[in-house]
Amino acid sequence: MGGTRGGSRLRPSNWRVPVRLVALILIPTAVAVVLGGLRVLSAQQDASDFAKVERMANLGGSVTDLAHELGTERDLSAGYIAAARPADGKAVVTQQYAKVDRIAAEVRKRVNNVISSDGDNDVRALVTRLDGLPALRQLTAARVPADTVTTKYTEMLGEVIGYLDGISTATADPGLTTDTRALAALSRAAEQASLQRAVLLSGTTVGRLNTDGLRNLLDARAQMDGDLANFRTAAHLPQRQLYDDTVIGPDVDRAADYRERALTESLRGTRLKLGRGHGDTEAWRKAMTGTVDKMYTVQRKIVDGIISSAGTRKSDAQQTVMVQGAVVAGVLLAVLLFTFGVARSLVRPLRRLKDGALEIAGTRLPGLVDRLRDPEAAAQGIEVEPIDVNSRDEIGQVARAFDEVHREAVRLAADEAVLRGNINAMFVNLSRRSQTLIERQLQLIEELEQSERDEEQLANLFRLDHLATRMRRNNENLLVLGGQDQARRWNKPVPFIDVVRASLSEVEQYERVEVRVHGDMTVAGPVVNDLVHLLAELIENATVFSDGRTRVTVSGQRLSGGGAMLQITDNGVGMTAEELEQANWRLANPPVIDFSAARRMGLFVVGRLAIRHGIRVELRMAQGGGLTAFVMLPDHVISPADNAVGTRGNGTGQIEAAAVPALAAPTATAVEERPGDGHPNTTLPGTDDGPRFGDNGTRFEGRHGRRFGDTGPQPAFGGPDGTRDLTDSLRDMGNGFAGDRAETRMDGLADGPAARPPAPRAEEDPNRSTTTGLPVRRPGAQLPGVGTPADDVFQPADRNGQDPRASATSGASGQWPGDPADRSQNDRSASADRNPAAEPYAGDPGRTASPQRPESGEPAPARRAFSWDTGPVSAIPEEPNIPEDAIPEQTNRPSNRPHQDQAPAGPRAAQAPGGRRGAP
């Protein structure tokens, strides 16, 4: 399938938790921000509008000043023209020009501020109108009638005052709109009052009002009344009250009286006269000017009020902008903080849950499983530490569920460990049950061998003895599979050469092995049994997987850096590089017992024994083909020879067939089926199929290589000089080499009935052989002499802490169900009297040299010199197993190598019994 698992990252199901939370609150937050932003923008717009109104109100105040002074200029100019432009009147008009110019300059300045920021067209029109003021003034100097000049000024004043109407449209605030409308109405009323003053000044100067003047006066009066009415309508009560309190007094009344008299006289067509009680023209002008000034005062106060209101509203709007902006920012920040807090409250427990799960999967659970490989630890139970998530939400529930999964996994591991311990105990118990029977069988075979006269039957008995020995080895390997340690150990060092020779006694084709062990070395007593077992496995593997015509070399020497190194080299089929890597890995890391370990028993046993004592075993390709097994023995295993038990030799040379003759096969080479694996293998002449890696492991106590003859007991395994090797010496010194075996036997000597005395026969050639090539046995020719008891170098105790020799002597223990009671001391004495060779061996009070059959001819019950059990099987206590956590777990590796049991096709199969050398 294309694409990655889970789909694209853009899918919402693949979003991280913080992203999901942000997405969840994104739309509501965005809506809130937009709405808050709109409020802020609205407040900002209001603040901008109020600022504009404030600027326009300031400009309106200047415009009001300009209109007032420009009306005064118009009135003076009209009177100046009506008086025929006298020289003394020019100065008054010129002074007024200066005032108007100053105010006009201020208006332009304010207009520029308004235009630069707002771009109002009405303001631009005002500036354009002011630019025409110089041309208007030129009319005063020219011969233009006063009415025309008055009309031109009035038109300009109308446009100037029209700007005030635009202030009301610049804001939506009702209060400012009303104030600006009231200001505009009052400004127009004040302008009409000023126009009336201009008309009356010009008419009074000439003594009458012409038609245009009369019409202008009537229109001005009517317009002023209408504007005042509009002002009262638009103005607030305080503004109306201000007007009523300001525009009042004698000047106002006198000005109104003068205006009404002028209208009356003009309507009659009479000349305007100033009679007694009416004052002169200057007094009338002052009265009219006073009224206009009072109206201007009201205008200024209204303008100031508008400017103050606009500034206040602008400040309020700006403050609102700040407050609303802060609120929006605060809400957004609060939402972000809340989102971050919620996301953190979710992410941190999830991260702890993930880290805890990974730690459990990668460290804690494997460690607990390793600890639970010990059945005792599994039986006691192990408490599971929960994941560090203590919340009660769904994440906490998931953590608790994972804890339950963890506990269940640990419980299953504990059950598996208990089951493995039970299986190991079953292996041990079954092995010991079967081992007891096999030992009794071997003892019976020994008795038959000692009494047999027929050569062919004797050869068959030796083959049967060999098969029984292999059966015993399989049983003993079950003890290793079950994690059973040696019940008894040596307590003094043993010469290394004797350990090597003892391992050769376990090998069927021992005559092919050439020993080259240098140095005077000893092996620590507690390691002797396991080292013999380990070397026998490696040596037998080398003999089985190499041509029977080749030699297997066992060489060893001490290392300058400490310890010793032993090399076992063969010229067999060898292994591929991958198989060597796998085999060395399994040797360094013996796997937990399983079906594969049971099928590769030899490799498993070697690895377990090596790990137990810190021995390093490594397989390498030999130079001339085949393999070399390097056995590195550490310092605590090897030491210089001092107080060693057993024989010493130079450690070199070949184990000759003359010293330890092999069992000659009565038949020719044939291809036979190996029991248990189902693969055909070639059997070499004079050999039986031996165990190999991955098939049947060996136990390091051999029974091969005995010489036999027509008559007489079986001689012991020894060197060319007839001396006995370590196997015999160990038995003589207390049976310490048997480890946890049920019994260690002397070849040719058994704790059972002795063979009947042979019939007398003629003197024969001592070196003759049988027709089948078997050496003729000579009765008692090589029986060892009776020695004196030696020091107890090995004093094993049985499971109940008793001395096995005492048990063997007293007969209180050491029996299996069905075993007869031990013979009494009198029986042993009687037997010793009948046969001098039946004296006890040194260090073994329970063994006799050659017990005889009873007088009745009935077979005496077989006895065990040293048993690892002291009662029925059901009463045998289980010995502690090797802790499984001491053996590293073997990881499975993919391999295309053939199965260890598979035999290669081709001619090499005929050269190496068992086919290709097995790979782990």
Between 558 and 905, the more confident residue is 558
d(CA 117, CA 147): 40
Q: How confident is the model at residue 863 (pLDDT cuts 50, 70, 90)?
A: very low
pTM of the model: 0.46
* Per-domain boundaries in the chain: 24-35+64-330, 430-911
Residue 363: DSSP 8-state:
I
Q: How confident is the model at residue 597 (pLDDT cuts 50, 70, 90)?
A: low
Output the pLDDT for position 57: 83
Pick the CATH number of 430-911 from 3.30.70.890, 3.30.565.10, 3.20.20.140, 1.20.120.350: 3.30.565.10
In the chain, what percentage of residues exceed pLDDT 70?
Answer: 64
**Average pLDDT for the chain:** 69
Output the pLDDT for position 284: 76
d(CA 315, CA 228): 33
Tell which residue, 869, 675, 662, 669, has the closest CA to residue 774: 662
Tell which residue, 744, 827, 733, has the closest CA to residue 784: 733
Q: Which residue intervals of 562-707 are DSSP H helices?
A: 577-588, 595-599, 601-613
543 contacts 552 by C-beta, under 8 angstroms: yes
- 164 exposure class (CB count in 10 Å sphere: 0-12, 13-18, 19+): buried
- Provide the CB-side half-sphere exposure for 527 (13 A, CA): 26
Query: DSSP string spanning 831-851?
Result: HHHH-GGGSEETTEEEEESSP
Output the pLDDT for position 778: 46
Residue 512 clears pLDDT 50, i.e. is over it? yes
Q: How confident is the model at residue 546 (pLDDT cuts 50, 70, 90)?
A: very high
Tell which residue, 187, 158, 198, 164, has the closest CA to residue 74: 198
Angle (deg, nearest 10), helices 394-451 and 365-372: 30
- 105 exposure class (CB count in 10 Å sphere: 0-12, 13-18, 19+): exposed
Provide the sign of the torsion angle of the four alpha carbons 135, 138, 140, 142, taken in this order.
Answer: negative
**Average pLDDT estimate for 365-370:** 83
Between 878 and 83, the more confident residue is 83
287 contacts 229 by C-beta, under 8 angstroms: no
Output the pLDDT for position 271: 67
Between 377 and 771, the more confident residue is 377
Residue 708 clears pLDDT 70, i.e. is over it? no
Between 632 and 208, the more confident residue is 632
**Average pLDDT estimate for 840-860:** 36
Q: Which residue bears the tokens 């060999």?
A: 466
Residue 733 clears pLDDT 90, i.e. is over it? no
The 10 Å Cβ neighbour count of residue 478 is: 23
Residue 462 clears pLDDT 80, i.e. is over it? yes
Which are the contacts of 824, defined by CB distance < 8 A and separation ≥ 6? 811
Per-residue pLDDT tens digits for 515-535: 998 768 899 999 998 898 899
Which are the contacts of 773, defined by CB distance < 8 A and separation ≥ 6? 664
d(CA 722, CA 616): 35
Between 312 and 128, the more confident residue is 312
Output the pLDDT for position 207: 72
